[in-house]
Amino acid sequence: MKLWLLHGTGKDHKEVGWHEYAPIGDYDTNFGFVIAAETEEQARNIAAQEAGRELADAWLNPERSVCQELIAPEEPQIILRDFHEP
């Protein structure tokens, strides 16, 4: 089993049109996942099943989200920071 990090393709969810998936606001919207799965496809499908207002396509479409295998870094660092300001 591998760990996968999924997040939007831009630095800010609004850069990648995340508001197109959640047009009424950012509530009930996922901005990232860390998922245990065997493959990228499986990880994307799990994320899609758990989609909120951003809808499943946000996680299935590589133009809208990144899915990368997490490998433990040698130095301490933040792996995921999911921060939103209005």
The mean pLDDT values, 10 residues at a time, for the chain of 86 residues are: 88 54 66 94 97 89 93 89 69
Domain region containing 36: 2-69
Is residue 46 domain-resident? Answer: yes
Residue 19: its pLDDT value, please?
57
Report residue 44 CA to chain centroid gap: 9
Is residue 75 domain-resident? Answer: no
Is residue 22 domain-resident? Answer: yes
Is residue 33 domain-resident? Answer: yes
Is residue 30 domain-resident? Answer: yes
CA dihedral of residues 65, 21, 44, 9 (deg, nearest 10): 0
Residue 66: its pLDDT value, please?
93
Residue 76: its pLDDT value, please?
94
Residue 86: its pLDDT value, please?
60
Residue 8: its pLDDT value, please?
83
User: For the chain, how many structural domains are there in total?
Assistant: 1
Comparing C-alpha atoms, which of 33, 47, 40 is closest to residue 69? 40
Is residue 41 domain-resident? Answer: yes
Residue 10: its pLDDT value, please?
62
